[in-house]
C-alpha cells in the first residue's frame, strides 16, 4: 500500500466526507477511490477557507481538510492558514511534496515558514 492510499483510508475511518483543494496533489485520486468527495477550488486560499468555514460551522466537532501542491501551492495557502491559526480553528492541511531527487535550491521550505502559524 502506498502512503497516499493509507492516508485516504485513515481519513475515511475518521469520518472525513470531503476534501477541498487545488489540483496537482496525488491525494485527490486516492480520496476519490475511498469514496471521499473531492472539491477542487480555483485557488489554494479558497480551499483553506472552505475547510476553515466547515470547522467553524460545526463548532470544531469535525475538522475541514485541505490539500494542495507543494511549492507555490503551499505558499498561496499561507494567509488562509495564518487566519485559521489566529482564530484557533483546527484544520488539517495536506500539501503534496517534492520528490527528493528533484529538490534543488531555492525551494520554499514549508516547515520553516509555517512554524509560527501551525502545530
What does each of the 119 residues of the chain score in pLDDT, given as a tens digit?
A: 888 999 999 999 999 999 999 877 889 999 999 999 999 999 999 999 999 999 999 999 999 999 998 878 888 999 999 999 999 999 999 988 766 666 666 666 777 778 888 87
Q: Domains along the chain?
A: 3-114 (3.40.50.970)
- d(C-alpha 28, C-alpha 11), whole Å: 12
- d(C-alpha 58, C-alpha 53), whole Å: 9
- d(C-alpha 81, C-alpha 41), whole Å: 16
For residue 98, what pLDDT is reported?
67
For residue 104, what pLDDT is reported?
64
Closest among 81, 78, 76 to 64, alpha carbons compared: 81
For residue 102, what pLDDT is reported?
65
Q: Model pTM?
A: 0.86
Amino acid at each position: 500500500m502506498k502512503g497516499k492510499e493509507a492516508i485516504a483510508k485513515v481519513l475515511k475511518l475518521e469520518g472525513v466526507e470531503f476534501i477541498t483543494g487545488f489540483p496537482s496533489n496525488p491525494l485527490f485520486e486516492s480520496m476519490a477511490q475511498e469514496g471521499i468527495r473531492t472539491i477542487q477550488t480555483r485557488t489554494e486560499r479558497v480551499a483553506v477557507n472552505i475547510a476553515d468555514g466547515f470547522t467553524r460551522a460545526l463548532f470544531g466537532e469535525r475538522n475541514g481538510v485541505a490539500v494542495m501542491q507543494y511549492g507555490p501551492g503551499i505558499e498561496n495557502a499561507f494567509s488562509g492558514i495564518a487566519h485559521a491559526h489566529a482564530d484557533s480553528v483546527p484544520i488539517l492541511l495536506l500539501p503534496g511534496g517534492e520528490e527528493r531527487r528533484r529538490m534543488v535550491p531555492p525551494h520554499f521550505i514549508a516547515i520553516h515558514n509555517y512554524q509560527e502559524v501551525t502545530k
